[in-house]
């Protein structure tokens, strides 16, 4: 009986993951839109910063500094927006059909989370490749592989947050409004576009309270070999954040009315 329940749970997770991947592969506009914004920032903003600012001690702004932040931003957007699939499935009745199956709702939400984080990682890796093509150089292949793991950990946390929010909101408009309210402050207060070491105290406090900051700093350490926050602290914070958001998302999804 226990083995049967386990197999059913794994099958549920796989089915939900596969459905999210099929939906993602068929949504060409979603893929293009997800890549266009970070690429725009990397090319246009990077060129603007390089021509307008100088770093302390001389020298020009290195556009490679932006790459980890834009990868983190891409993972954030894709992960949070993964929660909108819950609203679609609830609206079209699919969620009601799947939730009557004799399996825990937690595994349904886990499957959706795995699908969402997979699409987020695909987009993050594509941004990483594009950055390399236009001239950003990474310290090592091992750093690149570790950066992919960082994308996974941070993506799990933000998809958990997206599922938690979607479980409490019933309309696309409400979800989009909350996402707009969350994403820009998270990005702007993450150090994606500027070093966090010389910020004023009140602003630095907000930056250190932002979980995306630790994802960006961990990516910066993996890809460029330096970061303001020690990599060990960044990883610990990301793991704790991911565990907390996965638990929260699973709990709220389990209580959701369909």
Per-residue pLDDT of the chain (258 residues; tens, 9 = 90+): 456 777 777 887 888 888 888 877 777 666 676 667 666 766 666 565 555 555 555 455 566 788 888 888 888 888 887 777 777 777 776 677 676 666 777 788 888 888 888 888 888 888 888 888 877 889 989 999 999 999 999 999 999 888 888 888 877 777 778 888 888 888 888 888 888 887 888 888 899 999 999 999 999 999 998 888 999 999 999 999 999 998 888 888 877 766
**pLDDT given at position 1:** 47
**pLDDT given at position 238:** 95
Measured distance CA(201)–CA(60) in Å, rounded: 26
Measured distance CA(3)–CA(7) in Å, rounded: 6
Integer angstrom CA distances of residue 234 from 42, 210, 231:
24, 11, 5
**pLDDT given at position 3:** 67
∠ CA 96-102-106, nearest 5°, is 75
**pLDDT given at position 34:** 65
Measured distance CA(105)–CA(250) in Å, rounded: 8
∠ CA 137-140-141, nearest 5°, is 110
**pLDDT given at position 35:** 66
Measured distance CA(244)–CA(233) in Å, rounded: 17
If DSSP codes are grouped into helix, strand and coil, which group holds residue 191? coil
**pLDDT given at position 99:** 67
Contact 133, 63 (CB under 8 A): no
Measured distance CA(163)–CA(81) in Å, rounded: 9
Q: What is the pTM of this model?
A: 0.84
């Amino acid at each position: 009986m226990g083995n049967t329940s386990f197999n059913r749970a794994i099958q549920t997770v796989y089915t939900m993951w596969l459905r999210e991947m099929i939906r993602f592969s068929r949504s060409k506009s979603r893929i293009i839109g997800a890549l266009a914004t970070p690429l725009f920032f990397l090319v246009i903003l990077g060129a603007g910063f390089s021509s307008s600012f100088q770093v302390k001690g001389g020298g020009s702004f290195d556009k490679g500094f932006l790459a980890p932040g834009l990868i983190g931003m891409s993972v954030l957007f894709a992960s949070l927006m993964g929660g909108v699939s819950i609203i679609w499935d609830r609206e079209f009745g699919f969620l009601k059909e799947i939730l009557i199956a004799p399996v825990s709702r937690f595994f349904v939400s886990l499957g959706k989370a795995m699908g969402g984080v997979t699409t987020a990682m695909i987009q993050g890796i594509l941004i990483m490749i594009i950055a390399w093509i236009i001239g950003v150089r990474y310290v090592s292949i091992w750093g690149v592989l570790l950066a992919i793991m960082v994308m996974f950990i941070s993506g799990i946390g933000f998809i958990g947050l997206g599922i938690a929010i979607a479980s409490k909101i019933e309309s696309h408009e409400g979800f989009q409004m909350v996402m707009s309210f969350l994403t820009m402050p998270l990005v702007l207060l993450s150090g994606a576009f500027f070093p966090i070491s010389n910020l004023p105290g009140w602003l630095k406090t907000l930056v250190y309270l932002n979980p995306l900051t630790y994802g960006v700093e961990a990516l910066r350490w993996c890809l460029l070999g330096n970061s303001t926050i020690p990599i060990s602290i960044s990883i610990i914070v990301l793991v704790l954040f991911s565990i907390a958001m996965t638990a929260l998302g699973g709990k709220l999804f389990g209580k959701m009315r369909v």
